[in-house]
Amino acid sequence: MSTVAKAISLLEMLGRGEPELALADLARHAGFDKATTRRLLLSLMEHGLVEQDEGTRRYRLGAGLGRLALMREAQFPFLRTAAPLVEALATETGETVHLSEYSRRGLITVHVVESTKANRVSVALGELLPMHATASGIAFLAFTEDRIRDTILAGPLPAFTPFTVSSAAALAEQIAAARARGHSIGSQGFEEGVQSVAAPILGADGLAIGTIAIAAPQVRVLEGDIERYGAGVADAAHSIGERLVGRRSLPERRRA
């Protein structure tokens, strides 16, 4: 693992679970010795990406990350553009709506508006969504480059529930169906008892840059809801794409 990768792994640990962690805990979870962990933390602190509490001596994420996020958002306002539409869709449906963006690491959740109902689906910010097991992933694969889709189809396809797609042929069928209708439908592939729909957000080149999805407890999804939710995510995704690239960004429905 490179030095940069090690440093990023520490940032990710600090971004999950407890807001502050001790040096020993970080070293243990990362699998690094304390000297290496301290050296990496000092370097991150120099750039404001990590802070240390003077009293507890524990480490937390630094304000420098926020500065980098603002710089990135100023250049490509994905979150600022999409957030109002995510919130409006959550209000309209009463269910959890989440926004994901693609990077080389995969499809990552960047904004979540959870349902206000007691029985709801929770989605973690920063979660890496498995392409083959989520509605978001399948919607993305339906409108991405062939090389990305082919890599996922080549496997492995780990099972998260008894309902997870387990073969390339079955996954290809779901991708083709999503491409034909303009949105995907997921049923318990990543978490049992969860029904979801998702649509791709397209960039200027017509390829997916992210997704917007609705996730609901399966017991609450009634006849006709899936079609209504599918239309909702598709319309929201089109609006986000239009605002980002300055034109109506409609998925091209192609035959498999």
* Length of the chain (residues): 256
CB-count exposure of residue 158 (10 Å: 0-12, 13-18, 19+): exposed
Domain boundaries defined on the chain: 3-67, 76-245
Distance, CA of 28 to CA of 251 (rounded, Å): 46
Q: What percent of the chain has pLDDT over 70?
A: 96
Q: What is the pLDDT of residues 98-136, one digit of tens each?
A: 999 998 888 999 999 999 999 999 999 888 999 999 999
Pairwise pLDDT comparison (18 vs 83), residue with the higher score: 83
Pairwise pLDDT comparison (130 vs 8), residue with the higher score: 130
> Domain 3-67: which CATH class?
mainly alpha
| Fold (topology level) of 76-245 | Beta-Lactamase (3.30.450)
User: Does 256 have pLDDT greater than 50?
Assistant: no
Q: For the stretch 73-101, what's the b/e string if a residue is b when 16 or more beta carbons lie within 10 angstroms of its beta carbon?
A: eeeeebbebbbebbeebbeebebbbbbbb
Q: What is the pLDDT of residues 14-66, one digit of tens each?
A: 887 778 999 999 999 899 999 999 999 999 999 899 999 988 999 999 988 88
